[in-house]
Chain A
C-alpha cells in the first residue's frame, strides 16, 4: 500500500514536472542558439560584414522557441538549420571581405611592382642608350686619337731621325730660326709637335737638345746663340706639355761642325739644333710613337 502510494505520488510529480522540464529544455536550446549568435557577433569582422545575417538569425529565435514549445519538430529543425546557416553565412561574408581586402592589397602591390619594373626597364633602356652613345663617342675619340697617333708616327718618321751614339737624333736646320736670332719661326712648332706627342706617350724618355752655329762671328756670340736656340726649343716643347725636367739643353757654338764652314751650303748644315732621344734606337723610337 505504501509502495503504491509512493509510486502514484512520483507519477503525479512527474506528470506535473515534465512540461516544466520541457520548457526549461526548450529555453536552454534557444539560449544556446542566442549565445551562438552573440559569439559570432563578438567578432568585429563578422559583426561588420554579417550584421544582416546575425540580425535575421536573432529574429528567428522566437519562432524556434515557439516551435519547440509546440513540439513542431520539423519547423524547429528548420529554424535551427536557418540560424546555423545564417551564422555560417555571416562568417563567410566576413571571410569574403578579408579575402577581397587581401586581393586588393596584392593587386596594388602587383601594380606597384609592375610600375617599378617598367620604370627599371625604362631606366635600363635609357642607360643602354646612353652607354651606346658613350661608346660611340669613345670609339670616335679612339679613332681620332689613332689617326692623330698615326699622323704623329708618320711625322716622326718623316723627321729624318738619325742614329747617334747618344740615341735617335733629330736635326733641325737653321731654317726654323730667324737669321742670327734664337726665335723659332712661325710653323717651326708644327715640326716639334710630333716629337712632343711622342714624349707625352713615352714619359720615361729623356731628351737632349744641342745647339750649333757656323764659324761666322765670334766664338762667344756663337756660343750664346747656340745656347739660346737650344733653350728656345726646350721652351717650345715645354709649352706642348713636355716636362722641362726631362729636357737638357746645351749650346756648343761653332765647336762641332758637320760640314765645311768655307762654303755656304756647309755653313748652312753647321747652323743646326740636334734633338736626341737619349738611349733610344731609331726604329724603336718610330715604333713607340703614339698608336
Chain B
C-alpha cells in the first residue's frame, strides 16, 4: 500500500515537474508556428511569381504540416515544420525582392533607347 502511494506520488511529482517543460515546448511550437504564419501571410499580400512563388508554396505546405502536427499535439514536429515554413517564407521574400530588383534594373537598362528628336519650331 505504501509502495503504491509512494509510486503514485512519484508519478504525480514527475508529471508536475514535466508539465512546465511540456508547456514551454508547446508555447515554442505555438510561437514558431505563429511567426511562420505571419511571414507567409505577409508574403501573400504581395504578388509573387516565378521562383519566389514556388518557395512560398513550399512554405505554405510546411506550415500546413506544422498545423497538422500541432493538432496531433506533436510539438517537436510542429516546431520542426514551423521552423522550416518560417525559413522558407524568409527565402521567398528575399527571392521576390531579388526578382523585383532585377526587373527594375532590366527596365532601367532597356529604357536606354534613343529618345525621339525634339520638335523644332517651324
Contact = CB atoms under 8 A, between A and B. Distances in A.
Q: Do A and B bind each other?
A: yes
Interface of A: 72, 74-75, 77-79, 81-82, 85-86, 88-89, 92-93, 95-97, 99-100, 102-103, 106-107, 109-110, 113-114, 117-118, 120-122, 124-125, 128-129, 132
B101 A99 contact: yes
Please list the 3 inter-chain residue pairs (A to B) with the smallest Cβ-Cβ separation, ordered nearest first.
A121-B118, A106-B108, A99-B101
B121 A129 contact: yes
Interface in B48-98: 62, 76-77, 79-81, 83-84, 86-88, 90-91, 94-95, 97-98
Contacts of A103: 101, 104-105, 107-108
A128 to B, nearest CB: 5
B102 interface: yes
Interface residues of B, number: 32
Contact of B98 (A79, A92, A120, A132): A92
B111 interface: yes
Contacts of A77: 80, 84
A81 B112 contact: no
B88 to A, nearest CB: 6
A109 B115 CA distance: 13
Nearest to A128: B120
A75 B101 contact: no
Contacts of A114: 115
B98 A96 contact: yes
A74 B74 CA distance: 11
Given A99-B104, A100-B101, A103-B104, A89 B120 contact: no
